Homo-oligomer: A and B are copies of this chain.
Amino acid sequence: MPNTVRQWKLIARPKGLVAPTDLQLSESPLPALQNGQALARVKYLSIDPTMRVWMADIPQYMPPVALGEVMRSFGLAEILESRHPQFKKGDRVSGLTGLQDFVLIDAKDTRSFQKLPSIPFLSDTNFLGLLGINGLTAYFGLLEIGKPQSGETLVVSAAAGATGSIVGQIGKIHGCRVVGIAGSDDKCKWIKDDLGFDAAINYKHPDWKQQLAAATPNGIDIDFENVGGEIMQAVLDRMNLHGRVVLCGLISGYTREDPALASFGQVLMKRLRVEGFIILDYVSRFMEAGQQLGMWKMTGKLKDRQTIVKGLEMAPEAINMLFQGQNTGKLILEL
C-alpha cells in the first residue's frame, strides 16, 4: 500500500494561463484507512476548461477551489483497499478525484463517486468524455435547450473539442445541417471526414467569416456556443429569427478579463434565459392585450403619464430627449 500521495494544490489564482506559481505539486503522508473509507489509485484525470473557472474567485456554479486545496478535477480511479460499504478492491470508480495520484473516498463523500460498469466497445476513459461530463453536456445542452429540428442549421464552436465533437454528431443524428468551427486544418479534417460534419471552418484562416457564410446559406438556427467573443459574434451575425443559443462555454474569455464577456458569463453561470423581444411578433394578439390594458386603466390598476412637446419643428429635439433622460412616461409630439 502507498503511504504518500502527490497532490497539485492551488496556491495562487491565475491571471491568464496557469503559471508555475499558481499550482504546487507536493507530497503528503496518506492517513490510515478508517472504517467507511476506501483508498483508490487515480488512473486518468479529465482536463476541462471549467477547471480554469474553478481557479478564479468569481461568481460561478460551484464554489471556487480555495487556496491551499487540492485542485478539483474529474477522474477515474481503481479501488486498492476498501472499508467502504459500496466499493470493493478492484472496482473502477469515476468522480471528482482532484489532481492527485491517490484519493481517499469516504462514505459521506460529496464528490459523487460511482462504480463503473464493464461494457463492450467502451473503454474506461469513455466514462470521462463520451459518457462523462462532455457527452452529457452535449446531449442535454443540444436536445433540451437547442431543440434541434430536422433540416435546421446547427453551428458548433470548439467543434473538435471533447464536447463540441459530440454535439455535432448528435446534431447529425437529429437531421441538422452541422457546421463546426475549430482552430486547425487537422481538426477540421477530423470533424468533417471522420465525424460527418457537413462543413468545418478553421477560424485562423483570414477569410473564415466568408467561409462561414458560404457554409450556412440558410442562416443559422442553433448556436452551440463554447467559445464566446469574436467567434460568437460572427455566428450571431448569421443567426435566423428566433434562433437558439446554447451558451455552454466562453473559453475565449476564461484566461483574460473581457468586459464584453462579463454579461454572458453571468448568463452562463446562472443558466439565465435571455430572449430578444420585438412587439411585431405579437400582432395577432393585440386585440386581447388592448382589452386587458384598457380594463386595467379604467379600473385604476394602471396609470400613465405623458411628456408632451409641441410643434412639428421640435421633432429632432424630442427624439434626443429620450437619450438624455428628459421624458417621464410617454413622449409625444403634439402638432
Contacts and interface: CB of A to CB of B under 8 A. Distances in A.
Interface in A11-64: 17-18, 20, 22-23, 25, 41-49, 51-52, 59, 61-62
A285 interface: yes
Contacts of A266: 233, 236-237, 239, 276
A289 to B, nearest CB: 4
A274 B137 CA distance: 16
Contacts of A82: none
Nearest to A304: B130
B303 A169 contact: yes
Interface in A95-145: 99-101, 119-122, 125-126, 128-131, 133-137, 139-141, 144-145
Interface in A251-266: 251, 254-255, 259-260, 262-264, 266
A306 to B, nearest CB: 6
A270 B240 contact: yes
Contacts of A190: 305, 328
A152 B54 CA distance: 30
Contacts of A294: 119, 122, 131
A276 B52 CA distance: 18
A329 B331 CA distance: 56
Given A236-B266, A282-B144, A316-B20, A130 B293 contact: yes
Contact of A129 (B166, B187, B332): B332
A136 to B, nearest CB: 5
Given A319-B52, A333-B47, A325 B270 contact: no
Nearest to A320: B17
A272 B323 contact: no
Nearest 8 pairs between A and B by C-beta?
A129-B330, A162-B330, A45-B333, A183-B325, A236-B266, A245-B274, A268-B276, A47-B331
